[in-house]
Structure 1
């Protein structure tokens, strides 16, 4: 009888152990998310000054009073809710500056979405004004399908679609509203 009871105990223990082994799964990602809200940033940076370099040369400077890091999302991004200033440097180290009230940088695509009072000033004193402007970091390309005003050498152009490289040498202003107006300064 004792042998039978020992055998039953061993069988029960073995059954419980096998159940536990086969019911376990790798849920490390779920464990990492415990205590982190899906809508909350994983990090917050204040008074940031970020330098982008390529082959030892500074290609861009990004400054903002506040950055929210959402790299914990499936489609990671960084949000700049309190204004942003972006300096872009060409091969000759000439600087174009873009300022905006708000920006989002999408990590996977390299796209920067700038919104609210966007102003782009080139080294040649050409200036673009828009409510929204996208900057593709990979292609070094600027574009928007929102109304824009472009000042260049005393001329003012207004349109609804803007598409250009950062040097404004391959730019297009589409759906022009008012054409070219010469301003005497």
Structure 2
């Protein structure tokens, strides 16, 4: 019987070592999972549906933004995201719509007072002129619309293609940079292609 006790004592450290390794291995896997979960996208602090945001100056509404879904993230650089798209209306002093903007995605950086519209961005002014692009920035402080990507502007007389664009926020005055071509709508023979 003493012999069995000695055998048990010799095996105990071996079992203890195997058990310790199993526990440490399982903890290591759990730590890896925790690291992966920590890298996941931060969750919004607020979420709303069918949101309407009004931007005003001196008690006059200048811009109205509507979004089916709006998520607000509160971090070092807070922002709101409109993952299901947006519609924006730019008003004059008489509350008449001067232009409207639609996009499939939007994000607004609160501190910079800058909103970006992406994917199928369309801006139409009161004259019926239309801008199409995949990325547009609305600089709220400067009251400008900007893009450094491909743009297409359709007027009643022509279609203009270019890379880069700048306009006032109601899209009544604009400049196209790096014009790639123009198509005359009234007379296709007059089209020019630089």
For the criterion TM > 0.5, the same-fold answer is yes
Partner of 2:90: 88
Partner of 2:127: 124
The aligned runs of 1:155-166 (5 Å cut-off) are 155-166=158-169
Structure 1 counterpart SS, 2:179:
coil
Partner of 1:177: 180
Partner of 2:77: 75
Indicate yes or no: 2:108 matched with 1:105: yes
Larger radius of gyration: 2
Take 1:105 and 1:41, find their aligned partners in 2: how far apart are those partners? 14
* CA RMSD between the two structures: 1.8
The aligned runs of 1:47-62 (5 Å cut-off) are 47-62=50-65
Residues 125 and 172, structure 2, Cα contact 8 Å, conserved in 1: no
TM-score relative to the length of structure 1: 0.74
Q: Give ranges in structure 1 of 5+ residues lacking alignment.
A: 1-36
Q: Deviations over 1:73-108 (max 9, x none)?
A: 000100000010011113353421000000000100
Take 2:93 and 2:155, find their aligned partners in 1: how far apart are those partners? 22
TM-score relative to the length of structure 2: 0.71
Q: Give ranges in structure 2 of 5+ residues lacking alignment.
A: 1-39, 188-194
Take 1:162 and 1:92, find their aligned partners in 2: how far apart are those partners? 27
Take 2:108 and 2:70, find their aligned partners in 1: how far apart are those partners? 10
Q: How many residues align?
A: 147
Q: Deviations over 1:115-134 (max 9, x none)?
A: 00000010111110111100
Structure 2 counterpart SS, 1:178:
strand
